[in-house]
């Protein structure tokens, strides 16, 4: 089993990133190790420049996201953890795969539509983002890609691109499959449960950041919007606010949705919201401490990432060479 996933260096990461990203990375790292496979996790800083970002913010976010990867439990002995721009194969693969990706496919991507809507400047890089992502995954011959639901469409396109390349130039890539969490694949904004929890869109008060203090987290849950009625039941259509909170509690406590519903049968919304907030505070506390320790020594963090970049470059090169060769480049 070969695992690959990437996470953008961009501002503060959220509880949504924990649910769809970090916790799945650690779980699949363990599965890959048990299976004798390999796992690659990458801070995708080349993706960060698809929307405007200050150079200083990019630099800081790259180290910050890397520190979170280690803080949540990625382990250099078992996984290759690196920064995308330090492995030049990613940029090269994206250019080559652009030849087997169609304008029409890219134009249909929901994330492109959402992120470009109302913007004065829409970069060509934002349009090409899914091609870069396909290269990230395919270079490592990954068969499993742990991601959240918002990346489902991009993953499907990566599969299409792999299949098209294989058909046109001969078997070159493993066609990857997405691994989505059973609960919490799409954590929503606590104030606007029809929206994804994200730092770039939606009410900031409804976004739980991994760096938030316990008091801020408690306040955000206390003021979370709920739905009409009184029952604490999981029904995303009729009760998006409560259903989101139930999923968050399932992620934080490891309990099943059915057990949570049963436990809160006779409780009101107020107590429930307070308990979810407390569970998230407890969940994040040890990771926040580990994160602070890692950030106290950025030089060591950089050294760890340099080791990862070297391993990743070695792993990616044979696939990149094969791509050039199959496409007919004289080398
Ligand atoms: N709300 C979410 N619920 C579940 N999973 C989520 N993910 C992101 N938001 C949620 C998953 O986290 C992983 C890393 O995502 P990313 O690199 O796309 O990071 P981001 O913070 O979402 O990226 P942006 O583009 O900087 O911010 P936005 O999108 O908020 O504008 C992925 O597996 C993703 O599915």
324 φ/ψ angles, rounded to the nearest 5 degrees: -60, -45
Q: Provide the CATH number for the domain around residue 244.
A: 1.10.240.10
Give the closest residue (by CA) to ligand 1 atom 2: 16
Distance of alpha carbon 261 from the chain centroid = 28
pLDDT of residue 249: 98
Tens of pLDDT, residues 175-186:
999 999 999 999
Closest ligand 1 atom number to CA of residue 150: 35
Q: Tell the residue nearest (CA) to atom 13 of ligand 1.
A: 21
| Residue % of the chain over a pLDDT of 70 | 100
- 268 and 319 co-located in one domain: no
Residue whose CA lies nearest to ligand 1 atom number 33 = 147
User: For the chain, where are the alpha helices, taking DSSP H only?
Assistant: 15-17, 23-34, 45-48, 55-71, 89-97, 103-107, 110-116, 124-138, 152-169, 214-222, 240-253, 257-263, 269-295, 298-327
With respect to residue 46, please indicate whether it lies within any of the assigned structural domains.
Answer: yes
Instruction: Tell me how far the alpha carbon of residue 206 lies from the centroid of ligand 1, in angstroms.
Output: 15
Residues 73 and 167 in one domain: yes
Within 72-142, residue ranges assigned H as helices are 89-97, 103-107, 110-116, 124-138
Position 195 in a domain: no
Which of the four pLDDT bands, split at 50, 70 and 90, describes residue 97? very high
CA-nearest of 81, 8, 82 to 46 is 8
Ligand 1 pocket, Cβ-based, cut-off 6 angstroms: 7-8, 10, 13, 16-17, 19-21, 147-148, 150-151, 185-187, 196-200
Distance CA 98, CA 3 (A): 23
Q: Tell me the mean pLDDT in the region 25-53.
A: 96
Domain for residue 194, yes or no?
no
Same structural domain, 77 and 138: yes
Substitution site in 3, 15, 17 for ligand 1 pocket (most atoms within 8 Å of beta carbon)? 17
Residue 323 and residue 172 in contact, taking contact as beta carbons nearer than 8 Å? yes
In this predicted structure, the answer to whether residue 76 has a pLDDT above a threshold of 90 is: yes
Whichever domain contains 23, its CATH number is: 3.40.50.620
Same domain, residue pair 210 and 270: yes
Domain, as residue range, for 37: 2-180+298-327
Q: What is the pLDDT of residues 200-254, one digit of tens each?
A: 889 999 999 999 999 999 999 999 999 888 899 999 999 999 999 999 999 999 9
Report CA(198)–ligand 1 centroid distance (Å): 7
Contacts of 298 (CB under 8 A, 6+ apart): 63
Whether residue 150 is found in the same domain as residue 228: no
């Amino acid at each position: 089993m070969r695992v690959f996933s990437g996470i953008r260096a961009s501002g503060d990461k959220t509880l949504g990133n924990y649910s769809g990203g970090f916790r799945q990375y650690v779980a699949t790292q363990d599965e890959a190790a048990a299976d004798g496979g390999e796992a690659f996790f990458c801070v995708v800083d080349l993706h960060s420049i698809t929307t405007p970002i200050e150079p200083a913010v990019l630099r800081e976010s790259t180290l910050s996201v890397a520190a979170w990867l280690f803080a949540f439990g990625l382990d250099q002995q078992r996984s290759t953890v690196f920064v995308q721009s330090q492995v030049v194969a990613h940029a090269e693969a994206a250019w080559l795969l652009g030849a087997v990706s169609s304008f029409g496919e890219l134009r249909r991507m929901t994330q492109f539509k959402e992120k470009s809507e109302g913007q004065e400047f829409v970069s060509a890089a934002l349009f090409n983002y899914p091609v870069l992502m396909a290269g990230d995954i395919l270079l490592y011959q990954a068969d499993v890609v742990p991601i959240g639901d918002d990346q489902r469409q991009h993953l499907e396109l990566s599969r299409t691109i792999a299949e098209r390349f294989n058909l046109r130039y001969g078997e070159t890539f493993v066609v990857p499959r997405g691994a989505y969490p059973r609960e919490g694949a799409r954590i929503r904004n606590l104030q606007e449960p029809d929206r994804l929890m994200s730092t770039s869109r939606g009410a900031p008060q409804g976004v739980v950041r991994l760096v938030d203090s316990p008091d801020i987290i408690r306040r955000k849950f206390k003021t979370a919007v709920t739905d009409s009625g009184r029952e604490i039941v999981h029904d995303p259509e009729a009760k998006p606010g409560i259903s989101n909170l139930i999923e968050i509690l399932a992620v934080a406590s490891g309990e099943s949705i059915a057990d949570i519903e049963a436990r809160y049968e006779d409780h009101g919304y107020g107590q429930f919201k307070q308990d979810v907030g407390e569970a998230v505070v407890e969940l994040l506390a040890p990771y926040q401490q580990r994160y602070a320790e890692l950030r106290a020594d950025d030089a060591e963090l950089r050294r760890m990432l340099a080791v990862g970049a070297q391993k990743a470059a070695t792993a990616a090169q044979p696939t990149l060479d094969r791509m050039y060769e199959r496409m007919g480049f004289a080398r």
